[in-house]
Structure 1
Amino acid sequence: MTQKNSQPNPKNPNPKKPLNKALQLSGAGLQMGVTIYLGYLLGQWLDVKFETTYLEKTITLLSIFLAIYTLIKQANKVND
Structure 2
Amino acid sequence: MNNKKPQKKPLNKALQLSGAGLQMGLTIYLGFLLGEWLDKKFETSFLTQTITLFAIFLAMYSLIKQANKIND
- Tell me the TM-score normalized by structure 1: 0.76
Q: Describe the superposition over 1:9-67 as per-residue Cα deviations: whole angstroms up to 9, x where unpaired.
A: xxxx95x5222211211212211111100000000000011111100000000000011
Name the residue aligned to 1:50: 42
Name the residue aligned to 2:56: 64
Name the residue aligned to 1:78: 70
SS of equivalent residue, structure 2 residue 44: coil
Which structure carries more relative contact order (alpha carbon 8 Å, separation 6+)?
2
Which runs of no fewer than 5 residues in structure 2 stay unpaired? 1-5
Q: Which has the larger radius of gyration?
A: 1
- Tell me the TM-score normalized by structure 2: 0.84
- The structure with more helix, counted as a fraction of residues: 2
The percent identity for this pair of structures is 79
Which runs of no fewer than 5 residues in structure 1 stay unpaired? 1-12
Letter of the structure 1 residue corresponding to residue 67 of structure 2: A
Task: Please give the root-mean-square deviation of Cα atoms over the aligned residues, in Å.
Answer: 1.5
Q: Which runs of 4+ in 1 moved over 3 A?
A: none
Name the residue aligned to 2:21: 29
- CA distance in 2 between counterparts of 1:17 and 1:66 reads 28
SS of equivalent residue, structure 1 residue 68: helix
